[in-house]
Amino acid sequence: MKLGIDIGGTHTDGVLLNDNNEIIKSIKLTTQHQELTNTILTGCQTLTSNLKAKELDRIVLSTTLATNVIAEQNYQPAGLLLIPGPGINPKLHNYAQHVEVVTGSIDHRGSEVQDINKKEVQKTLAKFIKIGIDRVGVCGKFSTRNPKHELEIKNLIKKEFTEIEVISLSHQLTGRLNYPRRIATTYLNCLVQQTQTEFTTAIQDGLKELNIKSPVYILKADGGTMPLIKSNNLPVESINSGPAASIMGILALTDTYETTLGIDIGGTTTDISLFIDKEPLFKPKGIKINKYKTSIRGLYNKSVDCGGDSLIQIKNGKLKIGPKRQGPAAAFGGNNPTPTDALVILNLTQKGNKEAAKTSLQPLAKELNLSIPELANKIIKKFCQEIKAKIDNILTELNNQPVYTINKLLDNTNIQPTKLVGIGGPAKALTPRLASELNMDYITPDNANIANAIGAALSRVTQECTLYADTSQGYYNIPELSIKESINQEFNLQIAQSLIKEKLRESTITPQKQIEISNTETFNLVRGFNTIGKIIKVTAQLKPGLITWR
């Protein structure tokens, strides 16, 4: 059996699926942000109450933890120690408040040009400690070709600067060269690593008390999963876990091959995604988190600060929905008017206290000189118009830039969605209205209210690795797996492809048939008129996808 839990900004949804992926049990809890671990463990306990330990095959969590740490700036300061070598000073990019550059250089082939200056590094680390910094990110420009300098600095920290508790090395986060994105990714990883480790420990301890022994995974931004324990070192991968869950949920619950627009209407936000030929749009170079362009590959998603529980106000004589949420809808025990209260008034949902909804909307109706039903219709119209405006902006942006799905770069892009899929709590009530505003057909699939939890439960393990080999220097390197080994002149592209598949299989405990080669490059190294070796680069991946749903 499979268990999926999605922690949203307002509610936490959980689902238990049997071996045929049929729903055995589902739950919906109020998310307790200060007690996130307890919310998850309560969900696990409720869903597994009648199970034997050996019956549960996997637990997958989709959590807002890392996202919230960054968005709310709820972190301790981190220091960045950069080894850029010659070229533009990376401090000009303004990644963080505490950035220091040290001497040392690795060239584009992975050859050491200049040793790191140990005294300079020691002085920098001492400076960090003096101002209270206990987490450090280390990022060399060509460390993905040769991580020697990053590893030397890590060893120095472990030996002489034990006050530093968190060390993030850029070559372990991505095998891609893009230095600015790698620096940003390393910095964000530093900021969330301690919080993620504490979370992982609490979840493991809690599950042990519940006698739940199945493997636990966490959903990543690319729609795949990784073991929860692995997220201690790669917490930045779980940023945008929530939107990824909604996208995987839509894939699980629908079969449409039209160009499709997905909306996940939550209590606080509405997430928007796009699908072409049943494949979600993808950001292969990396997603943007606040001001940071990262190396974290992720599914394409945009959010609107407008959800079912968004606060409704009147500003300058006009309705304003969101971005604040001040508790649940009045119809469900809250104190403020929300779009959900408008749905209750219009009988678009059968749940909720209609009198409480009327009471919350009455002052606004009076101020706008409208009846309560007229105001409710106006609220829903305004809600749909705000979502439509965001969608129009998204389509304009996408139709003026390269667009990717998980599998390919799309040519001659002109994205014009013809179908709308709505999921989330208010989806059945709001999707028809929004589809009318967009002039589209629509689907609200069965179990739309727990789609994210289903998507999480069914998401496969994913990983991408890059092998870089230089036969003239006699080594190959897979930075994401911290592997560097010797090779001879006979090493070739075929050997490289087999080797990276095997190493990735060992890392993820995955059948090789699920691993594919996504990119290969090879060229000769010539000195004078003689070929002295080859540069070989191979990228292998476990693509995002679903454990068979239907």
User: pLDDT tens, position by position, for the chain (550 residues)?
Assistant: 999 999 987 789 999 999 888 999 999 888 887 788 889 999 999 999 888 878 899 999 998 888 888 877 888 899 999 999 888 777 667 778 899 999 999 998 888 899 999 999 999 999 999 999 999 999 999 999 899 999 999 999 999 999 999 999 999 998 888 999 999 999 999 999 999 999 999 999 999 999 898 999 999 999 999 999 999 999 999 988 989 999 999 999 998 788 999 999 988 889 999 999 889 999 988 999 888 999 999 999 998 888 899 999 999 889 999 888 888 899 999 999 999 999 999 999 888 999 999 999 999 999 999 999 999 999 999 999 999 999 999 999 888 888 888 766 666 678 899 999 999 988 999 999 999 999 999 999 999 999 999 999 999 988 889 999 999 999 999 998 889 999 999 999 999 999 999 998 888 766 656 788 888 989 888 787 778 889 999 999 888 888 865 4
β pairing state of 11-17 and 23-30: antiparallel
| Distance, CA of 228 to CA of 214 (rounded, Å) | 12
348 and 433 assigned to the same domain: yes
In a domain, 408, yes or no: yes
| Distance, CA of 119 to CA of 135 (rounded, Å) | 20
Structure token pair of residue 65: 């933890």
Q: What is the pLDDT of residue 526?
A: 78
Q: 446, 478, 508 — which closes off a domain?
A: 446
Structure token pair of residue 192: 């969330």
513 and 538 assigned to the same domain: yes
In a domain, 204, yes or no: yes
**Contacts (Cβ under 8 Å, ≥6 apart) of 49:** none
Q: What range does the domain containing 219 cover? A: 1-239
Q: What is the pLDDT of residue 510?
A: 66
414 and 531 assigned to the same domain: no
Distances (CA, A) of 113 to 151, 154, 450, 514: 16, 20, 55, 39
In a domain, 266, yes or no: no
Nearest to 517 by CA among 498, 491, 535, 495: 498
CA 270 to chain centre: 16
- Whether the CB-CB separation of 542 and 519 falls below 8 Å is answered with no
43 and 118 assigned to the same domain: yes
192 and 234 assigned to the same domain: yes
8 and 142 assigned to the same domain: yes
85 and 177 assigned to the same domain: yes
Angle at alpha carbon of residue 122, lines to 118 and 128, rounded to 5°:
145
| Distance, CA of 548 to CA of 494 (rounded, Å) | 31
Q: What is the pLDDT of residue 200?
A: 93
Structure token pair of residue 166: 């968190």
Q: What is the pLDDT of residue 512?
A: 59
In a domain, 256, yes or no: no
The alpha-helical segments, DSSP class H, found in 369-471 are: 372-398, 427-438, 451-458
CATH (domain of 150): 3.30.420.40
Q: What is the pLDDT of residue 550?
A: 46
Q: 446, 477, 506 — which closes off a domain?
A: 446
For the stretch 504-533, what's the b/e string if a residue is b when 16 or more beta carbons lie within 10 angstroms of its beta carbon?
Answer: bbebbebeeebbeeeeeeeeeeeeeeeeeb
- Whether the CB-CB separation of 217 and 248 falls below 8 Å is answered with no
For the stretch 336-357, what's the b/e string if a residue is b when 16 or more beta carbons lie within 10 angstroms of its beta carbon?
Answer: bbbbbbbbbbbebbeebeeebb
Q: What is the pLDDT of residue 386?
A: 93
In a domain, 261, yes or no: no
In a domain, 173, yes or no: yes
In a domain, 292, yes or no: no
| Distance, CA of 303 to CA of 268 (rounded, Å) | 10
226 and 83 assigned to the same domain: yes
Nearest to 28 by CA among 263, 326, 328: 328
- Total domains in the chain come to 3
| Distance, CA of 274 to CA of 280 (rounded, Å) | 6
Q: What is the pLDDT of residue 411?
A: 65
| Distance, CA of 131 to CA of 127 (rounded, Å) | 7
Residue the block writes with tokens 């059996």:
1
**Contacts (Cβ under 8 Å, ≥6 apart) of 38:** 32
Nearest to 327 by CA among 30, 7, 67, 36: 30
210 and 130 assigned to the same domain: yes
| Distance, CA of 536 to CA of 519 (rounded, Å) | 11
394 burial class (0-12, 13-18, 19+ CB within 10 angstroms)? buried
Residue the block writes with tokens 């968190």:
166
Structure token pair of residue 218: 């966490």
The alpha-helical segments, DSSP class H, found in 277-425 are: 339-345, 354-368, 372-398
Q: 212, 239, 266 — which closes off a domain?
A: 239
- Whether the CB-CB separation of 404 and 283 falls below 8 Å is answered with yes
- Whether the CB-CB separation of 63 and 241 falls below 8 Å is answered with yes
478 and 343 assigned to the same domain: no
435 and 328 assigned to the same domain: yes
370 and 478 assigned to the same domain: no
The DSSP string of 300-338 is --EEES--TTPPEEEETTEEEE-S---SSBGGGT-SB--
In a domain, 457, yes or no: no
Nearest to 23 by CA among 47, 46, 42: 47
